[in-house]
Amino acid sequence: MLAILQGGAYNVREATIGGITLKELAQIASAVQVSSTMAMDALAKQMAADGVDVVGFGAGEPDFNTPDHIKAAAVRAIAENITRYTPASGTAALKQAVCRRVKEDFGLDYQPSQVVATSGAKHCVYIALRALVNPGDEVILPAPFWVSYLELIKMAGGTPVVVSAPESARFKITAGQLAAAVTPRTKALVLNNPCNPTGTVYTKEELAALAKVCVEKDIYVISDEIYCGLLYGGVKTASFASLGEDIKERAILINGVSKSYAMTGWRIGYLLSSEKIAKVMANYLSHSTGSPGSVSQAASVAALIGPQDCVEAMRRAFEERRNYIVSRVNTMDGVSCVKPDGAFYIMMNVEKQLGRTLHGELIQSSDDFSAALLKHGLVATVPGSGMGAPSFVRWSYATSMDNIKKGMDRLEAFLRG
């Protein structure tokens, strides 16, 4: 059933297809693994469309509708024929809106010439890596990590250097670990704060310690802050670029409208950096995507400069869901999770399940656990194996409270064997 998740590398040397001999495909592209989050989401949606009563905790995608004032701005844009190419790195209005938002949220001063808008934050990560990485350069990646980072680093020709952030350290790396991982080939650190998949949030002091190492060792940081609007329990953090001019010069900030404004399908992300890096990224974009969608850009302006109470309403709902799912998981035997401070994921520790036979299936890995839970419990999760966390299973709680209750009941029944 999970074959779709196992769609690994193709044999690039395979030269004969249906009797026709062809040259091999590109090695870098052929080695790219399927995104386990996207694959699991597609599988759960297909099962639901086929009439299977599956509950999806796979993709990190808010279940809320895009707020009305944002949709209205898009409708207006269509009526006003805002339907043509825009500058490759985004409209002036969107760049100004981004500057205003980071000033209000983090006190950051950026000029529109330092902003690059893309077709989603995933593409931001790719463009940032493309701007920084030469073949063979090392990029430090704390684990657990969002599935796409590892593949994107390799797609950009880089070598990922994974640094483990154990559950016992609340999934955080230390400045000492970062310093120890740096070599003469290190180009950048990729940091995701708040973190997908762990929900970890670094304090300002912890970030400052990491920033100090980046400056001392002269490495860049790609700081993905897409979940910055989703913090719980009064926890506070900071933007990496707010920690001093030295680090701001070395930082590429990534953000977007997908998560905070429930706009995953609109495909708008943005980067903030020094003008020099922004120019390189904009040039690259001008040949790759051309420009992001004009209507989506207009909608994103409304999101960024319009009323922000919709963000707070969704944040509150996520916090309630977090509290519920964490307390349910931690009352079950043989599984547990850390209470995360941000984003909308929990990492469920399944170490005690390894070696068990559940519903006739021998569980030897988080892949086996997720597969068995889907098959026998009709609950879709994402195994941590693709996230540098082989003993964990990720649950996205960006779904309704009813679904979460149903999913937890099913997990409880499933674990009884």
CB atoms within 10 A of CB 30: 14
* DSSP letter for each residue of 311-332: HHHHHHHHHHHHHHHHHHHTTS
Residue 192 is a binding residue for ligand GLU (CB under 6 A): no
Residue 399 is a binding residue for ligand GLU (CB under 6 A): no
List 269's β-bridge partners, or say none.
118, 256
| Residues in 115-144 that interact with ligand GLU by CB under 6 A | 122
Residues 198-237, one symbol each (x = binds ligand PMP by CB under 6 A, - = not), give --------------------------x-x-----------
Residue 144 is a binding residue for ligand PMP (CB under 6 A): no
Extract the tokens encoding 97.
Answer: 């809106």
Binding residue for ligand GLU, selected from 66, 118, 119, 148, defined by CB under 6 A: 148
Distance between CA atoms of residues 377 and 259, nearest Å:
28
Binding residue for ligand PMP, selected from 57, 106, 146, 240, defined by CB under 6 A: 146
Rounded to a whole number of angstroms, the minimum distance from the CB of residue 361 to ligand PMP is 29
Interstrand relation of 115-118 and 20-21 (parallel, antiparallel or unpaired): unpaired
DSSP state of 336: E
Let me know if 375 is exposed, middle or buried by CB neighbors in 10 A (0-12, 13-18, 19+).
Answer: middle
Answer whether 243's CB lies under 8 Å from 207's CB: yes
Binding residue for ligand GLU, selected from 25, 38, 209, 354, defined by CB under 6 A: 38
3-state secondary structure of 92: helix
- Segment interacting with ligand PMP (CB under 6 A) among 42-50, 242-250, 256-264, 383-391: 256-264
Binding residue for ligand GLU, selected from 146, 232, 270, 344, defined by CB under 6 A: 146
Residue 289 is a binding residue for ligand PMP (CB under 6 A): no
Nearer to ligand PMP, 145 or 414 (CB): 145
Extract the tokens encoding 239.
Answer: 């933007």
Residue 264 is a binding residue for ligand PMP (CB under 6 A): yes
Interstrand relation of 392-396 and 382-383 (parallel, antiparallel or unpaired): antiparallel
Q: Taking CB positions, which residue lies at the least distance from ligand PMP? A: 120
Question: What is the contact surface with ligand PMP in residues (CB under 6 A)?
Answer: 60, 120-122, 146, 192, 196, 224, 226, 256, 258, 264, 269
